[in-house]
Structure 1
Amino acid sequence: MAEREKILEVRDLNISFKTDSGIVNAIRGVNLDLYKGETIAIVGESGSGKSVTTKAIMGIMAGNGSIDGGSINYTWTDENTGERITKDICQLSEKEMQSEIRGRKIAMVFQDPMTSLNPTMTIGNQIMEPMIHHYNTPKEEAYKKAVELLQLVGITNAEKRMKNYPHQLSGGMRQRIVIAIALSCDPYVLICDEPTTALDVTIQAKILELIQDIQKKKDLSVIYITHDLGVVAKVADYVNVMYAGKIVETGTIDEIFYDPRHPYTWGLLSSMPDLDTDDDELYTIPGTPPNLAHEVKGDAFAPRNKYALNIDLRIEPPMFKVPGSTTHKVASWLMHEKAPKVEMPVELKNRLEKMKKEGVE
C-alpha cells in the first residue's frame, strides 16, 4: 500500500471571539489530519465549530475572532524544485494568505452560491478572475480554461453561459459555477461548507457526484462540513464528530457509522430520518449545546448525556484510542478501562445493523 501523503495538519487549535456578552471560546483544542486524495467530513450540530475551523484554515475569520493557540500546517510540493514545503497558516499575514494559499492552494465552496457570486459580473469573468489575479494568465488562455471548467462541472452550452449573469441561472447551475471558480487555480484542497443545503434533493445528489468525480480526476483532498449524515455516508473516507468546539470522535466512515462509541454520535445517528422506522416521532438529542461564553467544566456534553459519569462533571475526557484500531478515537470517559460498560441504544444498534446489511447487498 502506498504511503499516505499528509497535506494538512491542524494541532491544538484554539479560537475565541470577542462579543458583547464576553469572550466566546468557539474552538477548544481541535486536531485534524487531511491526506492527499482523501475526503474528511466534519459533522455536528449548528454552532459546534465546523465552519469556524475551516474558515481559520482559509484565513477568512471574522474581525472579532482570534487564534489563541495551535497550528495549521499546510504542506505541498514545489512545482519547480520538487521539494516539500510546510507553512503554518496561523503565522502568515493576510497578504501571504492571499498571494500564496487562498484560492491557489486551498479553495472553498460555500452553501449559498448567491452570496459567493458577484451579481454585476458575467459568469465567465468570475471564473477567469482568479487565474488572471494569481497566475497572470493571458486573457485568451483564461477564457479557454474557463470554458473547459464549465464543461467539467457539467454545464452545457459553456460558451453561451460565459456571458450569463448569476440571476439568469438556477440554484444548481450557480453551485456548479461556484465549484468551477474554486477549481480555477488548481487547488490541492477543496473545502465544501454545506455545499448542497440550498438545493433540492435530486440536484444535491448530482452536485455530490460531481465533486467526487472531479476529486478523482484531479486527485484533490476534500473537507466536507455538514450536519447531514446522509451526505457523509456518500462522500467521506474519515469522519470527525464535533461538539462545543472540540472533536469528540474521529474514525473511518465504517467506524463512525457501524461502531460509534460516543453518546453524542449515537444521538446524531439516531436522529437521522429513517423511512422504515416504526417510531411516530423523530429522535432529537435532549437539551441544548453549552454557552461557550462561560467556562466549560468537565465534558461539555455531560448535561445532555444520560450515560454521564460523575467524573464527566469535573474533568474533561482525553482522546481514548478504540482497542484494535489505529484510526478510531473517542473523547469520552466511558472508554476508560474502569468505566462501567455501556452499550449503544438497542434501536440504534438494530438500525446500524440493517444499514450494514443494505450496504453489503
Structure 2
Amino acid sequence: MSENKEKILAISDLDITFKTTAGPVHAIRGINIDLYKGETVAIVGESGSGKSVTMKAAMGILASNAEVNGGKIEFSYHHADGTPKTVDILQKDKKWIRRHINGKRIAMVFQDPMTSLDPTMTIGKQIMEGMIWHFKTPKKEAWDRAVHLLEEVGITDAEKRMKNYPHQLSGGMRQRVVIAIALACNPDLLICDEPTTALDVTIQAKIIELIRKVQRERGISVIYITHDLGVVAKVADYVNVMYAGKIVEKGKINEIFYDPRHPYTWGLLSAMPDLDTDDDRLYTIPGSPPNLLREKPGDAFAPRNQYALEIDDKLEPPMFRITDTHYVATWLLDPRAPKVEMPEELRVRIERMKKEAEEYED
C-alpha cells in the first residue's frame, strides 16, 4: 500500500468498553487503522460511532471509566538525535504520555475552540506553554516563535493578538489559535476532531485550507474525524467509515466516493446536500444508531439496512477484499448473496461527481 513510506501509527484490533451506571458499553470493537508519514486519513461516521474515542485512545487521554480489552496502538517517531523509536501507547502511563506524546509528537485540534482554550490566559501564553514545558525554550524565543505561528495560521497583527484573551477573538480566529497551539511543538501527527463544526461555512473552507497548507509545508500526517463527507472529499487520501464501534468500509478516497460497496456508505453519500439534483427531498438514513448497551448478534447496521439478509441477524460479516486497499464488511459481498446494486439516484450522483472532478482537473 505504502511500501516505501514510513508508518507512524498502527492501531491493531483495538477493543474498548466503558463502564457506566447503566452497564458496560462496548464502544470500540476491533479497530485497525494504519497511517503513513505525510498522509491524511479520515474517519467518518455518525455521532456515537466511536471516531473520537479511537483517537483519544491514540492520544492516551481516555476517560477513567474506559477499559481497554485488547489491541495495540503503535506510534513511531524519532528522537532528537535521529534514532527511531516505536512505542505501544496502551502500555504507557499517563505521566509518560504527557511528557513524550501529548502536544509534543501528537497534537489534537478539538471541535469547539472555547473548550480547548483557557479563558484566564492570554493567547500568547497558551501558545508558548507547550514549548516551554516540553523543550525548556527560553521565554523570548518562545514569544517570537508564537508570533510567527500566529502569522503562519493567518492571524494579522500577531504581536497585538498575543496579549488578547480568547473571548476577544471570533470563532474562526479562536480555531486558528488552537491550530497554532497544536503546531507549537512541531508534532508528527495532527488529529483534527470535527475542526470546522462550530464555524460558519466560509470560515470552514479557510480552516480546511489552512490545515492542508500546514501539512504540505511541514510534511506531517493528519487524521480527520468528521461526519461531513464534503470535508473528506477535500482533504483525505484514505477513508475509514465507522459504524457502532467498527470500521465497515475502508479504502482510498476515490474508492469510497466512486465505488462505495457498504449500504451505510451509500446512505452517508446520499445524505450529502446536492444542489444539482431534481429531487427536493433530503435523504436520511432510516432509524437511529444502535444502543451499544444492548449488543445484538450479527451486523449492527442490519436494522437500518433495507438490503439486510437473514444471516445479518446471526453473524457479523467479515471484511471482504475488493482491491489491495479497499475492504468492506457486508454479507452482500459474499459470493452466495443476491446481487444488489447501489441506489440509482446515488449512481447518477457519483457519475456527476466523477465528471465534475475530471473537468476540475482539466
User: What TM-score bracket applies, with the shorter chain setting the length?
Assistant: over 0.9
Determine helix, strand or coil for the equivalent of 2:307.
Answer: coil
Q: Distance in 1 between matches of 2:79 and 2:4?
A: 19
| In structure 2, C-alpha distance between the alignment counterparts of 1:310 and 1:248, rounded to whole Å | 18
* 1:311 aligned partner: 311
* Partner-residue secondary structure (3-state), 1:240: strand
The equivalent of 1:34 in structure 2 is 35
* CA distance in structure 2 between the partners assigned to 1:356 and 1:205 by the alignment: 21
Letter in 2 for 1:355: M
Q: Who is 1:196 aligned against?
A: 196
* Aligned-partner SS, 1:307: coil
| Pair 302,129 (structure 1): closer, same or farther in 2 beyond 3 Å | same
Please state if 1:20 is matched with 2:21: yes
- 1:2 deviates by 7.5
Equivalent residue number for residue 184 of structure 1? 184
Shift of 1:78: 2.5
Secondary structure of residue in 1 paired with 2:356: helix
Can you list the C-alpha shifts for 1:218-260, whole angstroms capped at 9, x where unaligned?
Answer: 1110000000110000000000000000000000000000000
Runs ≥4 residues deviating over 2 A: none
1:169-223 deviation line (CA, Å, top 9, x unaligned): 1100000000000000110000000000011100000000000000011111000
How far apart, CA to CA, are the structure 2 residues paired with 1:336 and 1:104?
Answer: 45
- The number of aligned residues is 358
- Alpha-carbon distance, 1:284 to partner: 0.7
2:111 corresponds to = 111
For residues 42 and 15 of structure 1, the distance between their equivalents in structure 2, rounded to whole angstroms, comes to: 17
**Where do 5+ consecutive residues of structure 2 fail to align?**
none
Could you list the per-position Cα deviations for residues 69-110 of structure 1 after superposition, in whole angstroms to 9, with x for gaps in the alignment? 101000112231x33211000000001100011111100000
Gaps of 5+ in 1: none
TM-score (norm 2): 0.97
Secondary structure of 1:248's counterpart equals strand
1:122-144: CA deviation from partner (whole Å, max 9, x where unpaired): 10000000000111111111011
Distance 2:237 2:331 in 1: 26
Q: Quick one: distance in 2 between partners of 1:334 and 1:32?
A: 23
Amino acid corresponding to residue 134 of structure 2 in structure 1? H
Change (3 A) 1:2 1:242: closer
Distance (whole Å) between structure 2 residues aligned to residue 174 and residue 288 of structure 1: 33
* Residue equivalent to 1:251: 251
Specify the alignment match of 1:68 in structure 2: 69
Letter in 1 for 2:280: D
Return the alpha-carbon distance in structure 1 between the equivalents of residues 347 and 230 of structure 2: 17
- CA distance in 1 between partners of 2:264 and 2:298 (Å): 15
In 2, distance between residues paired with 1:64 and 1:241? Answer: 26
Which residue pairs with 2:79 in the alignment? 78
Residue 283 of structure 1 corresponds to: 283
1:59 deviation in Å?
1.0
The equivalent residue for 1:340 is 338
Q: Alpha-carbon deviation of 1:334?
A: 1.1
Match of 1:219 in 2: 219
Question: What is the alpha-carbon distance in structure 2 between the residues aligned to residue 319 and residue 79 of structure 1?
Answer: 40
Letter in 2 for 1:48: S
Quote how far apart the aligned CAs of 1:21 are: 1.1
Distance across 1 between alignment mates of 2:334 and 2:84: 39
Distance 1:50 1:342 in 2: 28
Q: CA 1:2–1:261 in structure 2 vs 1: closer, same or farther (change >3 Å)?
A: closer
CA distance in 2 between partners of 1:127 and 1:77 (Å): 23
CA distance in 2, matches of 1:217, 1:276: 35
- How far is 1:61 from its partner? 1.2
2-structure distance, mates of 1:171, 1:295? 39
| 2:357 is the counterpart of 1:355 | no
TM-score w.r.t. the length of structure 1 is 0.98
Give 1:341 shift. Answer: 1.1
Post-superposition CA distance 1:310-329 (Å, at most 9, x none): 1111111111110xx21000
Q: Distance in 2 between matches of 1:63 and 1:88?
A: 19
Matched residues in 1 for 2:11 and 2:125: separation? 34
